Structure 1
Amino acid sequence: MGKSGRFEEQMLPLFEERDAPLAATLPQGGRLPSYIKDHRSRLRARFMAGGATAIPDYELLELILFRSIPRQDVKPLARQLLDHFGDFNRVITASPERLGDVQGVGQAVICDLKILEAAAQRMARARVMQRQVISSWDALLDYCHTAMAHRETEQFRVLYLDRKNALIADEEQARGTVDHVPVYPREVAKRALELNSSALILVHNHPSGDPTPSQSDIAMTRKVEAALEALGVTLHDHLIIGASQELSFRAEGLLC
């Protein structure tokens, strides 16, 4: 048996012991069915031995659901969630209302998935806050995709930068519908002054998955740029986040 197999054997008792306290809440003698208990122990040990790359998406989702639903086999629900939403990211970022439409999903599952989503966003955000945007551009794009790529409605965010182009604030300016979000250039400019920001980046998502800008996107960007220019604040870029890629107004020559 290889090193990975020995590690899994060492981990099994630890995971079995963690499930043991749940027995007091179970019916019919209070014991977790052995096939569920063994499966959970093996899956946890395999994850600890090989990490996320050692297991497919539905098993990673199972690991999350173990905590939410301690007294039943959660593999069918994990597969059902993936079939319903399409992929792991869309399950995690789905709205509580849409998650609740899936049979078998209760408040415990919804809460745990939303905690995971919040944790992922904070970790991605921590990689870019107070850092120079130009030198952390890939990390910035990762954060934007984590926070916005799988949202079902449009969201408009403003990233405010200081004189050294370090990110000092990341704020949601507005939320909208599936294809429109209201943006008020004067509010964006006013907030830049309040934060003593020297430059900013606009970011919004396209729930359709296609980051191609609409004519209203282009017109709104030019209005924001004009409002900022009057105050001596630079608009570095406007990013549109799609499902798997983003579009940069600067790269496309859509900014002056």
Structure 2
Amino acid sequence: MSGMNERPQAQPHFHGHRERLRERFRKGGADAVADYELLELILFMTIPRGDVKEQAKALIKRFGSFAEAIAAPPDQLKKVDGVGERVADNFAVIKAAAERIARGEIEGRMVLGSWQGVIDYCRTSMGFETKEHFRILFLDKRNALIADEVQQSGTVDHTPVYPREVIKRALELSSTALVLVHNHPSGDPTPSQPDIEMTDKIIEIARPLGIAVHDHIIVGRNGHASLRGLGLI
């Protein structure tokens, strides 16, 4: 009989939170949730029970934004309490999906007519990397994408680029135009003097062979820079 006087157990403070957050997202989309709440929605998939708000907020605090958290290296993600292999794998799948979607915006289209799509794709695929990568978009005579290749990868602030190798690959693909892309892990996309000199060297070798260099785009967490837009090529 003693149990008859016991009060019902209080529900955890997060009881019903998941469904309320899902419902808000269903009705309002991404604009209806904060960055950490979008991460919560993703964490729900791999952490089936309990409150994940603290992990989501910790990820934003550590990496700075939703995009940076999703793009963070697995070993860094797992330093956040409660984040394990399954979460890191899930984030990697989401990043890959975002890249595929962004790439779909430019595949089979005239690159120069889909320039914002090119910028979005470059930022999605490279803007949050922790090491420098040098990528080339090879175009045909209609300025449609033939191939998209990462030519070199380097350290946090340097990638060795060999202009003659760039042009050799363009000739192998019968490409008549290029868009050069690399990232600045520092976040600041401002071109350096070596960036400018390397671009000039590629242009110098490409021009006599009838290969145009449309632009050199530098991407980072803080945006992008176009050497053509800056009047540097």
Alignment partner, residue 145 of structure 1:
123
Counterparts of 1:243 and 1:75 in 2: how far apart (Å)? 24
- 2:99 matched to 1:121? yes
Match of 1:68 among 28, 46, 63: 46
Question: CA offset at residue 58 of structure 1?
Answer: 1.0
**Residue 197 of structure 1: how far off its partner (Å):** 0.7
Which residue of 131, 135, 139 corresponds with 1:157? Answer: 135
SS at 1:157 equivalent: strand
Number of aligned positions between the proteins: 223
After TM superposition, the structure 1 stretch with the greater mean CA deviation from structure 2, 55-64 or 213-222, is: 213-222
2:163 matches 1:202:
no
Q: TM-score, normalised by structure 1?
A: 0.83
- Which of 158, 180, 189 is the aligned partner of 1:211? 189
Paired residue for 1:188?
166
What is the CA deviation profile of residues 25-74 of structure 1, one whole-angstrom value per residue up to 9, with x for unaligned ones?
xxxxxxxx876562111111111111111111111100000011112211
Q: Pick one of 46, 49, 54 that aligns with 2:24.
A: 46
Q: Distance in 2 between matches of 1:175 and 1:234?
A: 23
AA aligned opposite 1:168 = I
1:76-95 equivalent positions in 2, closer than 5 A: 76-95=54-73
Q: C-alpha displacement at 1:177, in angstroms? A: 1.1
Residues of 1 paired with 2:70 and 2:33: CA distance? Answer: 17
Counterparts of 2:229 and 2:27 in 1: how far apart (Å)?
A: 43
Displacement of 1:131 after TM fit? 0.8
- Kept in 2, the 8 Å contact 1:129–1:169? The answer is no
Residue in structure 2 matched with residue 7 of structure 1 by the alignment = none
Unmatched segments (≥5 aa) in structure 2: 1-10
1:168 aligns with 2:150: no
- 1:154–1:180 CA contact under 8 A, matched in 2: yes
SS, match of residue 150 in structure 2: strand
Q: What SS does structure 2 have at the residue aligned with 1:253? A: coil
Distance 2:15 2:98 in 1: 28
CA-atom RMSD in angstroms: 1.5
Q: Which has the higher contact order (CA 8 A, sep 6+)?
A: 2
CA–CA separation in structure 1 for the residues paired with 2:229 and 2:28: 39
Normalised to the residue count of structure 2, the TM-score between the two structures is 0.91
Contact 1:211 1:242 in 2 (8 A): yes
Shift of 1:227: 2.2
**Aligned AA (2:212):** T
> 2:189, 2:222 within 8 Å by CA — same for their partners in 1?
no
Q: Give the equivalent residue in structure 1 for 2:209.
A: 231
Aligned residue identity for 1:192: A
| Structure 1 letter corresponding to 2:134 | F
State which of 99, 105, 108 in structure 1 corresponds to 2:83: 105
Which amino acid in structure 2 is aligned with residue 127 of structure 1?
A: E
Q: Secondary structure at the match of 1:187?
A: helix
Q: Which runs of 4+ in 1 moved over 4 A?
A: 33-37
| CA-CA distance at 1:232 after TM superposition | 1.6
- Residue type of the partner of 2:222? S
Cα separation, 1, equivalents of 2:95 and 2:67: 9
